[in-house]
Homo-oligomer: A and B are copies of this chain.
Amino acid sequence: MADVSSARVAAYLREAILGGDLKPGMRIRQEEIAAKLGASRLPVREALRTLEAEGLTESEPHKGARVPRLSQHEVEVIYRMRERLEPLALLESLPLLGATDHERLEEVQRQIEANDDLEKFLDLDREFHMLTYSGCAIEPLNQNVVRLWNSTQHYRRAYVALGGQNRMWVVNAEHRLILDAVVRRDATDAERFLEGHIRRTRNELAHHPEVFE
């Protein structure tokens, strides 16, 4: 599913949702998307099914698709899932990362530290973490990690936009610890620092209920 039309539609919708153009609660009309992409409704329907299973949309029969709205508690549990799953992905990935990956990580982290654009930060942060997992070849695990990131993307954006940037130095310090552990191939440290990184984020989110409207 690469050159295929339904894949293009799925990619477009994914981008739109993760990019914040389609916000939680918004309805997605098949015809509208089809017209915008110059395709028929069929690929749109298939794409929506795919996204539904990725947790990016939800749909009821004859009622159509929407971007799901998550409660604060749901987001909190998703973060707890991340705390448990991502260290496992890192554990699988770490031994397979080479010098080139380490340099790329270093480069991305430098970009994060030099950056001051919020939207760009979200992309770079995601790239940093995904790079650390890029050695993991277990597809179900990779898919899960991506799904969890996707489903909280909107709330992460809201949090950062709400003033999370004051705490950016904490993020950078934690990234540095993770990066160092990865380069040293210290799985125990890497797991611990990563878990702490996610847990801290969860705690900060818990103290900002305004992110959830």
A contacts, CB < 8 Å to B: 1-4, 6-7, 42, 45-46, 49-50, 52-55, 59-62, 73-74, 77-78, 80-81, 84-85, 88, 92, 138-141, 143-144, 147-148, 151
Q: Which of B42, B46, B61, B141 contacts A81 (CB 8 A)?
A: B141
Contact B140–A74 (Cβ < 8 Å): yes
- By beta carbon, the residue of chain B nearest A49 is B49
A2-B61, A54-B53 known; A81 and B92 CB under 8 Å? no
Distance to closest chain B CB from A165 (angstroms): 28
**Chain A's interface: helix, strand, loop or mixed, by majority?**
helix
In Å, the complex CA distance between A140 and B80 comes to: 12
Q: Which residues of B lie under 8 Å from residue A74 when comparing CB positions?
A: 138-140
Q: Which residues of B lie under 8 Å from residue A49 when comparing CB positions?
A: 6, 46, 49-50, 53
- By beta carbon, the residue of chain B nearest A53 is B53
Contact B140–A147 (Cβ < 8 Å): yes
Chain B CB within 10 A, most for which of A1, A4, A59, A60: A1
A52-B50, A140-B151, A144-B144 known; A77 and B88 CB under 8 Å? yes
Contact B46–A140 (Cβ < 8 Å): no
Q: Which of B1, B54, B60 contacts A59 (CB 8 A)?
A: B1
In Å, the complex CA distance between A46 and B138 comes to: 25
Other contacts beyond A7-B61, A74-B138: 7, CB < 8 A? A1-B60, A49-B50, A49-B53, A53-B53, A78-B141, A81-B144, A140-B151
- By beta carbon, the residue of chain B nearest A70 is B140
In Å, the complex CA distance between A62 and B50 comes to: 17
In Å, the complex CA distance between A60 and B1 comes to: 5
